[in-house]
Amino acid sequence: MTGLRDQLHGLWLPLVTPFQDGALDERSLRRLTGHYCAHGIDGLILGATSGEGMTLRAAERERLVAVVREEMATAGRNLPICLGLSGADTSRLQERLDETADWPIDGYLIASPYYVRPSQRGLRAHFEALADHAAWPIALYNIPYRCAVNISNQTMLRLAEHKNIVGLKDCGASREQSIALLRDRPKGFRVLTGEDANYFEALSDGADGGIVLSAHVETATFAAIYSEHKRGNHDAALARWHEVDELTRLLFAEPSPAPAKYWLWRSGLIDSPEVRLPMVEVSSELAATIDREIGRRMTIAA
């Protein structure tokens, strides 16, 4: 068992998966990995929502993990990796846990079963069955606006008692629920926000960090916001937050991760802004807005 419970804090990046001509773009993936290893992130999520995991074939998912881990070794920074998994069939997910048991990962990020809308008792049984089966620790992913079911705090606290369930990516969209969970959670159960626009707010409420798509851009600023919070420098953290709060809205102006991929392409970090259907690339209007914002930030940096 790895030390994911101790590693699940700070700024985690839900890495986009670069594609070119319909295939996994390994050259861009290596470039991305090397770039972010040199910046202030604390871990990577691979193949989840931002990584278009629902469109990845099994072989692509395995290659994604292998390439990232190889490039980390080259960079000399062995960051923890969580593999994103999702599905509405518990037994099939158990098979996927078996298939990935010997991969060079540190844990899983597993979303609630979508579409079927199980009861809270069903959610608990589902996640406990997965946690009993998994070779690596599990972080839960509560995102009711995608899965059509919310993991209640009562259920969450029961799941947090399981030795193989170590934390949560919180996209519950209820600050009241999040604050109550942070107050009542057992020691060592990590809570990271997954809502970019609420990153500063969640840290102020006591979250252990964030899994932040927008940190693909201005990575050092998002890392500094966390660091200033940890040091108790609220005003300094707020000042840094004001540098990026509008960015978190821009990168979600159209379905994610298309805006982030366009930005990364225009910045030269990936060779194509390609996404896989049913995702589509950004509109010409948003592309123009992003181009202007890139130019503005380059002018400020100069």
Domain presence at residue 99: yes
Q: Which two tokens stand for residue 258?
A: 């298309």
Which domain, by its residues, includes 231? 4-242
The average pLDDT across 59-77 equals 97
Q: Name the region of 52 (left: φ>0; alpha: ψ -120 to 50; beta: rest).
A: left
Q: Which two tokens stand for residue 54?
A: 């629902």
Binding residues: 50, 211
Q: What is the pLDDT of residues 34-56, one digit of tens each?
A: 999 999 899 999 999 999 999 99
Domain presence at residue 273: no
Q: Is 262 a catalytic residue?
A: no
pLDDT reading at 1 higher than 80: no
Domain presence at residue 134: yes
Phi, psi of 165 (to 5 degrees): -110, 110
Could you tell me the pLDDT band of residue 100, with boundaries at 50, 70 and 90? very high
Q: Which two tokens stand for residue 161?
A: 């008692």
Binding residues for pyruvate: 50, 211
Q: Which two tokens stand for residue 228?
A: 């200033």
The average pLDDT across 159-187 equals 96
Domain presence at residue 275: no
pLDDT reading at 92 higher than 50: yes
What is the total count of domains within the chain?
1
| Catalytic, out of 36, 169, 199, 226 | 169
| Calpha distance 259→253 (Å, rounded) | 8
Domain presence at residue 296: no
pLDDT reading at 60 higher than 70: yes
| Catalytic, out of 36, 108, 114, 141 | 141
Domain presence at residue 29: yes
The pLDDT > 70 percentage for the chain reads 99
Domain presence at residue 48: yes
Q: Is 141 a catalytic residue?
A: yes
Domain presence at residue 279: no
Domain of residue 217, CATH code: 3.20.20.70
Q: What is the pLDDT of residues 194-234, one digit of tens each?
A: 999 999 999 999 999 999 999 999 999 999 999 999 999 99
Determine the longest span between alpha carbons in the chain, in angstroms.
56
The pLDDT > 90 percentage for the chain reads 96
